[in-house]
A = this chain, B = another copy of it.
Amino acid sequence: MKIVISCAITGSIHTPSMSPYLPFRPEDIAAQAIGAAEAGAAILHLHARDPETGRPSASPAHWKGFLPAISSSCDAVLNMTTGGSAVMTLDQRLEAPLTFAPEMCSLNMGSMNFALYPMAMKPRDWRFDWEEPFLRTSDDLVFKNTPRDIAGVLQRMGTERGARFEFECYDVSHLHMLRHFVDRGLVDGPIFLQFVMGVLGGIAAEPEHLIHLHQTAQKLFPKFEWSVLAAGRRQMEFAAIAAAMGGHVRVGLEDNLYLSKGVLAKSNAEQVEKVRGIVEALGRSPATADEARALLGLKGRQVYA
């Protein structure tokens, strides 16, 4: 059975000081995204960053810096975050997705704490001024995704622009919230769940939690595809478990900066290659972008000029 490898290229959690390989200049984001696609990623989960400072950005101009290059150089599914960074308002987070109308975007199924401050505890030479306070103040940060917000994204991105969603579920309650929207008739087409594990504020990365999320989904949804990402050091372990269970996987520097214990990944492609080796050893082969499109009912590739 084909496995959809998603790769989350840069995200909004890690900061440049944590790894020299975390891409934030548009040309680096594009190059790593294209490399990840070549290595076997069918879906590229994308965030923008300020090209000068690496700070997470919602600006359509910053997105514009890499979308054309990626979309013209590979046929991977471009999945634009609507989560942006937890410090942005929803209107900010939606500006670029509304502008570029991608075939897929992420959608977080609940409001939650998003606590990055433990990452600021380790002494470090900070490359940019914004990094440490950005992390430290996350102790008072609410990542707001209310039912009204969710309904709005479903309407504006889904109904109006034809996107399908990577439904990011950080805990059991998020699955029930998604079911609530299914019951309200607001969710259309194949359901693609992303179990997000290991963020402080969400469910921890423990195998029994993955099983519980999966069993809950089986009860709530007659049919669905699911993927898992474990933030941090258990990334590959959870990818292996998901692959063994028949799920899909997400890797990438957004979720984990390392390739193995103590060894930074030099690129997103390195993580894709590694997970590809594991899934192939388990007898599964990576879905192509078009196979992922068929499985998830996507509207199709778009090349941005």
Chain A interface (Cβ within 8 Å of chain B)? 110-113, 115, 117, 139-149, 151, 170-173, 176-177, 180, 200-204, 207-209, 211-212, 214-216, 218-219, 236-238, 240-241, 243-245, 260-261, 274, 277-278, 281-283
C-alpha spacing A183/B219, complex, angstroms: 22
Least CB distance from A153 to B in Å reads 13
**Residues in B whose Cβ lies below 8 Å from that of A139:** 146-148, 151
C-alpha spacing A238/B136, complex, angstroms: 39
* B282 A237 Cβ-Cβ under 8 A: yes
Least CB distance from A210 to B in Å reads 9
C-alpha spacing A144/B151, complex, angstroms: 20
C-alpha spacing A282/B277, complex, angstroms: 11
**Residues in B whose Cβ lies below 8 Å from that of A172:** 171-172, 203-204, 209, 212
Least CB distance from A187 to B in Å reads 16
C-alpha spacing A227/B211, complex, angstroms: 19
* A243 B240 Cβ-Cβ under 8 A: yes
Of B148, B214, B236, which contacts A282 at CB under 8 A? Answer: B236
**Residues in B whose Cβ lies below 8 Å from that of A245:** 207, 237, 241
Least CB distance from A150 to B in Å reads 9
* A147 B240 Cβ-Cβ under 8 A: no
C-alpha spacing A277/B207, complex, angstroms: 21
Least CB distance from A243 to B in Å reads 7
